[in-house]
Chains A and B, each alone.
Chain A
């Protein structure tokens, strides 16, 4: 039987490898353009102002004249130590230019990340207790609906309903990037709601089917026939097992939230990393794009690792089966 420590170490090593591969993908995606990053960042009509020597000098400054592999090693080494270099256009450190927006987005995403699984669990348990009943049909139908609507539609819907029609929340509140956390949270209410509404569907479904399976299992039947009260059957016996498939869904939610945040921020004009990213892509700011993507991947890998560890904690059987792959 493999110890838990060995399992975690093995996963960590794997995660490191994956991070390396991700950087390779990002690097290839951004730097195999014909010409290079420098060419891309200078608009065509300005090009004539630079002489050949200027260009060569700028290239050397940015390290763009070195061979591909060496560049990749440098870039990866930097990324891993969270040294994201400087932006092409303004030469300011990438970190400075993005850290406010990153924090804002993280704040908003964290709230959504905490609220969504909770909502999914409550709805999932309620629906599973009376499968096919009115609550179940209503929630299942509603979530299928909300899952199918693109988040920018949901976002706009919320703006139309809450801000315009009901006049409740501020629709377009332009706050600056470096606004204090309180203001950021206040303005996040609608975006977070939009994120939760789109994201809860998948986890709800997973929990519901996990609960149905657990409630139908032999061990819950035995416990019921032994006279245990219903609440104990649901919470102590069934729920921990039902959570396992949902946790994988939650880990995927982390990945998708990062995508969704970009869109939601565009809808609500929220000063976050999403807008930064779009601006960076439009301006072909390669170092910024690399930095943001790397950190996003890092977050995803971390959440997958945490989900795996949580599964270990919930189901003791997995610990033994771990190495029987």
Chain B
């Protein structure tokens, strides 16, 4: 082709425009900003509650249930403890258990999912059948059974959360790995004679990071919900540790006369979950991550 004409056509017309940085794009949506603010607020509260709360969570100040006053802004509970202080610390345990448990679940699940999809064969079949079996038991039931076995301490709950949430992560990571492993650059690595371990770690895994982050956030919100529900049912976190689920359950008996005892923890819990979901929704959209979302929002 004549030189002058080829010059005409050599401009790289197909190159992607430098996209507005995804974070900036995400922050344009008001819902996402609200979500991030809520999450930030709750994290702050979880860390600093014992320091900034007006009273301790177990100190007894009155003889029984009292409505809000100047000294106790949300009143005191049946035992006489300051409700506001307990409310502020109500999310700490659930959050801690969720973070530890889900981290373990995501790490294990991603490793297993990647292994199952890439190596295939009997390993894949075995992992998938085990996953199917675990997922066939409704979550709450599985958690309840495991509580029977392991107990209700914080560490037990964390292990239980890890066990219950791993299968979902395995499924999702496996599905994505199958897509990625079919691409030609994986083929190219295999033709180079790269070891399977290296291919999984260096070629495939970096392409999973977006998905894994989304899954982590979504499952955290789900775990916090489940732990609160467990406490609500009396099977999870129990007295004297404060927990929003537990507080809702205790407040049900006085809902006719003192509804704020129920409304306050309900709002606290809901706002945390809503915050996580709004934030994840907006960020995932901005970074272009589509979850295979077997349980969470896509």
Note whether A and B contact each other (Cβ less than 8 A): yes
Question: Are the CB atoms of A29 and B149 closer together than 8 Å?
Answer: yes
B118 CB–A CB distance under 8 Å: no
Q: Give B254 Cβ to nearest chain A Cβ, in Å.
A: 12
Contacts of A259 in B (CB 8 A): 138-141
Q: Give A180 Cβ to nearest chain B Cβ, in Å.
A: 27
Question: Are the CB atoms of A277 and B255 closer together than 8 Å?
Answer: no
B270 CB–A CB distance under 8 Å: yes
Question: Are the CB atoms of B298 and A205 closer together than 8 Å?
Answer: yes
CA distance A144 to B296 in the complex (A): 11
Question: Are the CB atoms of B135 and A147 closer together than 8 Å?
Answer: no
Contacts of B277 in A (CB 8 A): 144, 147-148
Contacts of B262 in A (CB 8 A): 156, 160
Contacts of A255 in B (CB 8 A): 135-136, 138-139
Q: Give B264 Cβ to nearest chain A Cβ, in Å.
A: 12
Contacts of B144 in A (CB 8 A): 277-278, 281, 289
Question: Are the CB atoms of A297 and B137 closer together than 8 Å?
Answer: yes
Q: Give A131 Cβ to nearest chain B Cβ, in Å.
A: 13
Question: Are the CB atoms of B278 and A292 closer together than 8 Å?
Answer: no
A8 CB–B CB distance under 8 Å: no
Q: A residues 251-309 with Cβ under 8 Å of B?
A: 252, 255-256, 258-260, 262-263, 266-267, 277-278, 281-282, 284, 289, 292-293, 296-297, 300-301, 304
Mark interface residues in B261-298 (1 if CB within 8 Å of A CB, else 0): 01000100110011011100100000000000011011
Q: Which residue of A lies closest to B265 (CB)?
A: A153
Contacts of B140 in A (CB 8 A): 258-260, 262-263
B235 CB–A CB distance under 8 Å: yes
B31 CB–A CB distance under 8 Å: yes
Question: Are the CB atoms of B133 and A281 closer together than 8 Å?
Answer: no
Of B1-9, B16-24, B82-90, B225-233, the one with at least 4 CB within 8 A of chain A: B225-233
Contacts of A282 in B (CB 8 A): 234
The 4 closest A-B pairs by CB, nearest first: A21-B133, A259-B140, A258-B138, A29-B145
Number of interface residues of A (CB under 8 A): 55
Q: Which residue of A lies closest to B271 (CB)?
A: A148
| New contact pairs (13) apart from A156-B255, A160-B262, A263-B233, CB-CB < 8 Å | A18-B136, A25-B134, A29-B146, A32-B149, A149-B273, A150-B269, A206-B298, A209-B298, A258-B138, A263-B140, A296-B138, A297-B136, A297-B137
Q: Kindly identify which residue among B146, B269, B297 contacts A147, using a CB–CB cutoff of 8 Å.
A: B297
Mark interface residues in B242-264 (1 if CB within 8 Å of A CB, else 0): 00010011001001100100100
Give 5 CB contacts A-B under 8 Å: A30-B145, A144-B274, A153-B270, A258-B140, A278-B235
Binding site for B on A (CB under 8 A): 14, 17-19, 21-22, 24-26, 29-30, 32-33, 141, 144-145, 147-153, 156-157, 159-160, 164, 202, 205-206, 209, 252, 255-256, 258-260, 262-263, 266-267, 277-278, 281-282, 284, 289, 292-293, 296-297, 300-301, 304
Q: Kindly identify which residue among A19, A202, A277 contacts B141, using a CB–CB cutoff of 8 Å.
A: A277
B148 CB–A CB distance under 8 Å: yes
CA distance A301 to B133 in the complex (A): 9
Whether A141 contacts B31 in the complex (CB less than 8 A), given A147-B297, A150-B229, A152-B248, comes out as: yes
Contacts of A141 in B (CB 8 A): 31
Question: Are the CB atoms of B298 and A296 closer together than 8 Å?
Answer: no
Question: Are the CB atoms of B129 and A300 closer together than 8 Å?
Answer: no
Q: B residues 106-149 with Cβ under 8 Å of A?
A: 129-130, 132-142, 144-149
B221 CB–A CB distance under 8 Å: yes
Q: Give A144 Cβ to nearest chain B Cβ, in Å.
A: 6
CA distance A21 to B132 in the complex (A): 9
Question: Are the CB atoms of A289 and B133 closer together than 8 Å?
Answer: no
Q: Kindly identify which residue among B235, B256, B270 contacts A148, using a CB–CB cutoff of 8 Å.
A: B270
Contacts of A19 in B (CB 8 A): 136
Contacts of A157 in B (CB 8 A): 266
Contacts of A284 in B (CB 8 A): 148
Contacts of B148 in A (CB 8 A): 29-30, 33, 281, 284, 289
Q: Give A256 Cβ to nearest chain B Cβ, in Å.
A: 7
CA distance A152 to B148 in the complex (A): 22
Question: Are the CB atoms of A252 and B141 closer together than 8 Å?
Answer: no
CA distance A289 to B144 in the complex (A): 9
Question: Are the CB atoms of A152 and B138 closer together than 8 Å?
Answer: no
Contacts of B221 in A (CB 8 A): 148
Question: Are the CB atoms of B146 and A205 closer together than 8 Å?
Answer: no
Q: Give B262 Cβ to nearest chain A Cβ, in Å.
A: 6
Q: Kindly identify which residue among B137, B233, B245 contacts A278, using a CB–CB cutoff of 8 Å.
A: B233
Whether A160 contacts B259 in the complex (CB less than 8 A), given A205-B298, A277-B144, comes out as: yes
Q: Which residue of A lies closest to B297 (CB)?
A: A205
Q: Which residue of A lies closest to B140 (CB)?
A: A259
Q: Give A17 Cβ to nearest chain B Cβ, in Å.
A: 6
CA distance A296 to B142 in the complex (A): 11
CA distance A144 to B285 in the complex (A): 15
Whether A281 contacts B147 in the complex (CB less than 8 A), given A150-B229, A266-B232, A300-B136, comes out as: yes
CA distance A252 to B296 in the complex (A): 11
Question: Are the CB atoms of B138 and A150 closer together than 8 Å?
Answer: no
Q: B residues 171-205 with Cβ under 8 Å of A?
A: none
Contacts of A144 in B (CB 8 A): 31, 274, 277-278, 281, 297
CA distance A165 to B294 in the complex (A): 38
